Structure 1
Amino acid sequence: MAKVNDIYVIGKNEELISALGEHINESFQVHFITATDLKKYNAQIVILLNSNNSAVDDAQVVLSDSPNASIICLNDEEDFELLRGLIRLGISDYYVFPGEELIFQEHLEILAREVKQRIEKADETESFKRGGGKIFAFYSGSGGTGKSLLSTTFAQTLKLESTAKVLFIDLNLQFGGAETFLGIDSNRSIIDLLPVIDELNEPHLRNIAEKEEHSDLNVLVSPRDAEMAEKINDEFIIKLLRASKRSYDFIIVDLPNWIDERVFTVLEEAYRIYYVMDIDTVAIRVLKGVENLFHRLGIITDDRLELVMNFKGKDKELTKKDMDRFVSYTIAAEIRKDIKNVQSYINQGETLRKEAQEKKLTPVAKDIHKWVNSMLK
């Protein structure tokens, strides 16, 4: 029977660390982390190693950052005060080493299978048309790929063609871009969430987000200010994404073409990474460089990263068949080159989409419509 393999361990008790290594099944992948780093991971099972009564404080952090995680506490002596504190928090899985190693091993195996079943059941019952807080990150290692236009039109189309609640986040913090493609002129931006980031909820998000007039898409606009952008760190991004996942079905994030802690955080949290690229050998070289960087940073791309081929046309150096030979990733969509029509819309401050089931669409809008519909089926 399938089970969860990743176990996250918090605590600095060297004796318990040694004992845990001896009594945990080799099929588990054990990750030793700090309580503050837990928010970077999608932890399902967390083991707390008590040291100087640290377990209760660590448990409170886990319950705050990963409320769905199953928690086990290990201690090196009987401590009823500690156990009482854990029970108050709703944690009853408490084992003392030495003495209860076998009971712990059996319980961990059972728990790993139960958690896996719970995840699979949730995946089966959750309709893809209602995203359940899925994050779609648009990224490219090159500028000028049309990423921002595609991401905004993708979000707008997703909102128009479904009943889902959709949020678009522009994380091009220095220069923006989304507001141009969505015809939005706003004095509010993502920066305005800073005072409430620790208690962020749906009303806060809706108060700051702008509504795109044709689709009612919620948009968190970039501050378009390098100095203001420095105030946003990776912890802000994590809290923003977690709150957004609780409030929206789909969260579309347009990322800049570099990697820093904020971009890394989004890529780690993303359900799907759409890598936008041109169709030529230079773009393939850049993709290989990005792939190597992702590998070094530990960003998992298997089954998460898909390619979006932009500027498709007869004048292109390569075809889709060529791309299939050179890259191993799934090609999610091919978007035709249509600079004349697109430029006209942008110059007039109009969006590529205005209503559901439009009959007259530009080639770019048609291709994105086809892509979104195939995803929603």
Structure 2
Amino acid sequence: MSAVKISIVSSNERLTQQLIQSIHFYNMQPGEVIEKPREAYMQIHPKEPRVILLAESEELTDLTPIIQQLKKVNASAPVIFLSRTGDFIQIREMYRAGVTDVLRIPDELDHLENVLEKAILLAQRGTDQRSIHTHDTNGGKVIALYSGKGGAGTTTISVNLAQTIALQTEAKVLLIDLNLQFGGIQHYLDIQFERNLGDLKSVLKEITYSQLSNVLYPLPSSGLNLLLSPAHPQEAENFTGEDIEMLFTTCRQHFDYIILDLPRELNEVSISAISQTDELVYVLNLDRSSILSLKSVMDILDRYHLMDMNRISLVINKHSKRSDVTTSDLEKIVNIPTIGSISEDLKGQLQTSANLGQPLLLERQEKLKGVKGLIKEFINLQSVLSVKEGGEAHVDLSKVKQQA
């Protein structure tokens, strides 16, 4: 197990330098040094053991959301609050939010070494316990489709991939449109349906199966369930990363596969979704600007530890032999496995199905020997992802319905 590191979240430069010097003097290992508390959850390593020193901010009066975010990112990391004012009500709220200990600064800084030693022991125990549950396979798998380049085809692939999984397996599949402002799936499939994700906002903390199922739109051709984006763009501002986490927790109980269609923007909602996904499928076109966007996104995901990089794969969309960049060239540029490709729609099959408001595949393909073209490519992609996620482990809906 790697050594516990001490991370510092402080907007006070003088205090930060003092804490760094103390950590070195105690022969402890320094971790991340973060100036802006609101960005702390993006920079703290989610898997390595940490102790977090969180200094009272002069700008932020309520640090409770910051502590909650830190706990979600690294649940086993003890948080030590460094109180500048010593305000009793604030300190009480900090304990309620989950801090391990509180030190008044500068008066109690001479106790810092003892407090850190106890916190390091807690972090070590917490990491040991967490490792036992790392490979927990209960619940459905979340697969997110994303691209940092607009027009890459994430909605097209997410719709057709989810439909293919629903038809070709016996799995219960849910497709969620997280393009919260303007949506995409309801336009792609020409759906007129009044209920959507916005209807769940007020009940997410205690959502039941009945409430969830009431807002889902089932596709008649496959039984694929759709959770559409809010009807009004302004509703997107109401959703937080915590909302997405609660939504996924519920959906995992009721579905074998949860497919996400993510927006291009890396905002609080999409970052929360990516950090909780089991597999991130990056949709890539083989051109120079798309590859540059890919590298930029991977740098961000890696730098802020938003996801295990081993859980990321590529799907080449609009693939053509005429492309200036080959798949062999791509392998030399990025160290990410390619799990499938969807050919350029030369015959207009995808365009025709989209014009009709339908997925490409409308019925189960029992005999795969004669299947060709785009349908075969989607079936191949579905097969690869099913294997990567451990096959079909079905949720028992009879049990969860009893809990509703």
**Which TM bucket (shorter chain)?**
0.7 to 0.9
Give the superposition deviation at 1:111.
Answer: 3.1
- Residues in 1 aligned to 2:57 and 2:184: alpha-carbon distance in whole angstroms: 50
Specify which of 268, 280, 283 is matched with residue 276 of structure 1: 283
Specify which of 193, 202, 227 is matched with residue 186 of structure 1: 193
Aligned ranges 1:218-297 → 2 under 5 Å: 218-222=225-229, 228-233=232-237, 236-249=239-252, 251-257=258-264, 259=265, 261=267, 265=271, 269=275, 271=277, 272-279=279-286, 283-292=287-296, 295=299
Aligned ranges 1:224-373 → 2 under 5 Å: 228-233=232-237, 236-249=239-252, 251-257=258-264, 259=265, 261=267, 265=271, 269=275, 271=277, 272-279=279-286, 283-292=287-296, 295=299, 302-303=309-310, 305-337=312-344, 339-354=347-362, 358-359=366-367, 362-373=375-386
Which residue in the other structure is 2:55 paired with?
49
Q: Any conservation in 2 of the 1:138–1:252 contact (CA below 8 Å)?
A: no
Aligned ranges 1:141-160 → 2 under 5 Å: 141-143=149-151, 145-159=152-166
Give the superposition deviation at 1:217.
Answer: 3.5
- Residues in 1 aligned to 2:334 and 2:57: alpha-carbon distance in whole angstroms: 49
Q: Any conservation in 1 of the 2:67–2:98 contact (CA below 8 Å)?
A: no
Specify which of 98, 109, 124 is matched with residue 135 of structure 2: 124
1:70–1:188 CA distance, 2 compared to 1 (3 A): same
Where structure 1 has 5 or more consecutive residues not aligned to the other structure, the ranges are none
- Residues in 2 aligned to 1:245 and 1:41: alpha-carbon distance in whole angstroms: 23
Aligned ranges 1:88-127 → 2 under 5 Å: 92-94=100-102, 97-126=108-137
Percent of paired sites with the same residue? 20
Give the superposition deviation at 1:164.
Answer: 5.8
Which residue in the other structure is 1:136 paired with?
144
Q: Which moved more, 1:87-96 or 1:16-25?
A: 87-96
Aligned ranges 1:187-226 → 2 under 5 Å: 187-193=194-200, 196=202, 199=205, 201=207, 204-222=211-229
Q: Any conservation in 1 of the 2:195–2:215 contact (CA below 8 Å)?
A: yes
Which residue in the other structure is 2:63 paired with?
58
Q: Any conservation in 1 of the 2:144–2:260 contact (CA below 8 Å)?
A: yes
- Residues in 1 aligned to 2:326 and 2:55: alpha-carbon distance in whole angstroms: 55
- Please, what TM-score do these two structures have when normalized by structure 2? 0.69
2:7 matches 1:7: yes
Q: Deviations over 1:316-360 (max 9, x none)?
A: 554422322343322132224454443444344433345667436
1:247–1:357 CA distance, 2 compared to 1 (3 A): farther
Q: Any conservation in 1 of the 2:6–2:31 contact (CA below 8 Å)?
A: yes
Where structure 2 has 5 or more consecutive residues not aligned to the other structure, the ranges are 391-404
1:299–1:39 CA distance, 2 compared to 1 (3 A): closer
- Residues in 2 aligned to 1:374 and 1:142: alpha-carbon distance in whole angstroms: 29
Give the superposition deviation at 1:209.
Answer: 3.1
- Residues in 2 aligned to 1:73 and 1:108: alpha-carbon distance in whole angstroms: 8
Q: Any conservation in 1 of the 2:245–2:276 contact (CA below 8 Å)?
A: no
- Residues in 2 aligned to 1:33 and 1:244: alpha-carbon distance in whole angstroms: 28
The 3-state SS of whatever aligns with 1:365 is: helix
- Please, what TM-score do these two structures have when normalized by structure 1? 0.73
Q: Which residue identity does 1:130 align to in structure 2?
A: G
- Residues in 2 aligned to 1:356 and 1:3: alpha-carbon distance in whole angstroms: 52
Give the superposition deviation at 1:150.
Answer: 0.9
